[in-house]
Amino acid sequence: MQIIKRAVSRIFLLLSVTLVFAFPVSALNATGDSQPEILRAGSNEVSKLERGRFERVGKVSQGAQVVKIGIEPSHIYGVDLAAGTWAANLQVWWRWTGDIDPTETTYFTNNADAAIRNETTFDYVDTQGMSEPIILSSGEKYQRAIIRMGFVENFELDRFPLDRQFLRIRIENDKWDSDRLVYEFDEANISKEKQLPINGWISVGTQLSSYIHYYETDFGNLDEGTANQDYSHLIYSMEIKRNGSQFYIKLLFPLIIVLIASYSALAVRQLAAKSPLAIASTGLLTTLFSQQAYSKDLPSQAPVVLIDKIYLAGLFTVLMVFIRVVVRTQYKDPSGKFDELKLFMGRKSDLYFGLFVISMFGVLTSIFIIA
């Protein structure tokens, strides 16, 4: 009868631990349902939360002036996930035929003045220092500028710190709609080099996308005779990813060391109310503080990210160790005789329990990383 009671109690304990793990996992998976829907066009994203409507460029309006634009990033820096900004030094050039000078009205729609003081220096200027394009042998007009600018970006954080991000430069004309002026990428002359000069990230490559941006307003211009205004819209997208070693060395390995040290409370040959309880308490606090340390790199409104899930799994495993040690301090001999040996940790059942929670943490971590 005593053997049956022990078996039932152990099965109940294992089921309890499994339920404790299953609840946070199901809750974390449910959080993804509330994220805003994203329309993907290649590797470039156009969020439904943005104003207006985006469509791929079809036939260019007859009579519209076509402007070729090229972009060459020379330095990318200041990628700030918490602020949702990044900055770059760019070389931009325009080539066109027609009366409209696009250099005066080219607008970077996601520029961020708060991130960095924007500066534009044209190569070709008149005596007043104003932009004055040159005429190429082909008869086209040409201008080039060095631009220092900050940009706003809606970073996707759910896979942090194994995330991939897109740094996008969005270009429109702030005066002439697509019936008068259309931008096209100067693909023949834009660099095909995949490597971008950016510290702390690995460059994956670039993508070029062209859209027509339809605004659901006429901007109060009653003479246009239309309810909508549409503008040529270009997206120069740079994909970057983190070095995986930063995740394993800076975040995961330290957590594993803390967890192993906490699990060692189950193997210490001491009264449960003494050293094991102190070890488990220290491990719980250390894991909590470690979780707060990396959160400073994320915005306050960030969703639950990958490392959050891993640390939460670690917290629950340490919590189960802590609870087991506490329960052991409550032992009462059914016979009424006090047996101090029954209060000692380090028994086989403690070691088996430790192996179980370690295995659970490993399985959950693997699922989170692979998913």
Residue in the block written with tokens 């970006």? 153
Ramachandran angles phi, psi of 112, nearest 5°: -125, 100
Q: Quick one: how far is CA 288 from the chain centroid?
A: 22
Is 0.75 surpassed by the pTM of this model?
yes
DSSP conformation class of 62: T
How far apart, in whole angstroms, are the C-alpha atoms of residue 321 and residue 25?
Answer: 19
Alpha helices, DSSP H only, in 192-340? 244-247, 253-263, 275-295, 306-329
Residues of the chain with CATH 1.20.58.390: 2-34+245-370
Q: What is the pLDDT of residue 338?
A: 52
Per-residue pLDDT of the chain (371 residues; tens, 9 = 90+): 445 545 444 544 444 444 444 444 444 443 343 333 333 434 445 655 467 888 888 888 888 999 999 999 999 999 999 989 999 999 999 999 999 999 989 999 999 876 677 899 999 999 888 899 999 999 999 999 999 999 999 899 999 999 999 999 999 998 899 999 999 999 999 998 878 878 889 999 999 999 999 988 877 777 765 556 889 999 999 999 998 888 888 889 989 999 998 888 888 877 766 778 788 888 888 888 887 788 878 888 888 999 999 999 999 999 998 888 888 776 665 665 555 556 678 888 888 998 999 899 999 999 999 87
Cα–Cα distance for residue pair 86/167, rounded to 1 Å:
8
- The answer to whether the CB of 134 falls within 8 A of the CB of 124 is yes
**CA-based angle 74:166:33, to the nearest 5?**
165
Q: What is the pLDDT of residue 269?
A: 79
- Domain 2-34+245-370 in CATH 1.10.150.450: no
User: What is the C-alpha separation between 133 and 267, in angstroms, rounded?
Assistant: 78
88 touches 77 (CB < 8 A): yes
Query: The tokens of 50 are what?
Result: 């943005």
* Residue limits of CATH 2.70.170.10 in the chain: 43-242
- Phi, psi for 160 (deg, rounded to 5): -60, 135
Question: What are the distances in angstroms from CA 184 to CA 25, 57, 59, 234, 243?
Answer: 47, 10, 12, 7, 34
| Residue 357: both structure tokens together | 């929670």
Checking phi first, is residue 350 left (phi over 0); if not, alpha (psi -120 to 50) or beta? alpha
d(CA 222, CA 312) in angstroms, rounded, equals 57
At residue 184, the pLDDT reads: 96
Structure tokens at 8: 């039932």
Residue entry with tokens 């070890």:
279
CA-CA-CA-CA torsion sign (30, 36, 41, 42): negative
Contact 226, 239 (CB under 8 A): no
Could you give phi then psi for residue 85, rounded to 5 degrees? -135, 165
Q: CA-CA distance, 109 to 141, in Å (whole number)? A: 24
- Among the CATH numbers 2.70.170.10, 2.60.40.10, 3.40.50.720, 3.40.50.11540, which is that of 43-242? 2.70.170.10
Among 316, 260, 367, CA closest to 17: 316
On whether the CB atoms of residues 254 and 310 are closer than 8 A, the answer is no
